[in-house]
């Protein structure tokens, strides 16, 4: 297992997860993060945000059989633990325009590190809990 790190690699788990960078626009009025849908690796079918999560709380903890997810931290920091079979990777995703694309079959758990962290997720498929592969399936 690699140590948790702050976005030191572009690809993870043999390319089954990778970082994508968007151009954050900042000035005295604040930050603007445009996400051009026509440049995404999939057509989003669902978008949701996770907020109000207490520090240290775990969310996720599953893989998707066929869908992809793009995780974007809009505020704060979240640690991502990813696993495919016996390979494990950790990284810390913070606000600033970098997103993590997670492919099918990549188990991922998010741990919220800062108060008021906001995580935005874009998915390639509509919500379907039967598409989840839970952690127990990896043991």
What is the count of structural domains for the chain?
Answer: 1
**Band of residue 134 on the pLDDT scale cut at 50, 70, 90:** confident
Mean local confidence (pLDDT), 111-127? 97
Adjacency order of strands within the sheet including 58-64? 87-94, 77-84, 107-112, 58-64, 132-134
Say which CATH number the domain at 120 has: 2.60.120.10
The predicted model scores a pTM of 0.89
With respect to residue 66, please indicate whether it lies within any of the assigned structural domains: yes
Each residue's pLDDT tens digit, 1-23: 344 444 445 789 999 999 999 99
Each residue's pLDDT tens digit, 92-110: 999 999 999 999 999 999 9
Query: Which pairs count as long-range contacts for 7-11, CB under 8 Å and 24+ apart, including other chains?
Result: 7/91, 7/92, 7/93, 7/98, 8/91, 9/91
With respect to residue 4, please indicate whether it lies within any of the assigned structural domains: no
With respect to residue 130, please indicate whether it lies within any of the assigned structural domains: yes
Question: pLDDT value at position 135?
Answer: 65
With respect to residue 114, please indicate whether it lies within any of the assigned structural domains: yes
CA–CA dist 124, 139 (Å, integer):
27
């Amino acid at each position: 297992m690699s140590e948790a790190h702050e976005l030191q690699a572009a690809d993870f788990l043999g390319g089954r997860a990778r970082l994508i960078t968007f151009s954050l626009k900042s000035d005295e009025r604040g930050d603007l993060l445009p996400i051009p849908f026509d440049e995404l690796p999939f057509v989003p079918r669902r978008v949701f945000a996770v907020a109000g999560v207490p520090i240290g709380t775990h969310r996720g903890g599953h893989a998707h059989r066929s869908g992809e997810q793009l995780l974007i931290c809009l505020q704060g920091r979240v640690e991502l633990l990813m696993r495919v079979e016996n390979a494990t990777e950790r990284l810390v995703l913070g606000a600033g325009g970098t997103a993590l694309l997670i492919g099918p079959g990549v188990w991922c758990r998010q741990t919220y590190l800062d108060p008021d962290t906001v995580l935005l997720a874009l998915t390639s498929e509509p919500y379907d809990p039967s598409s989840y592969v839970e952690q127990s399936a990896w043991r």
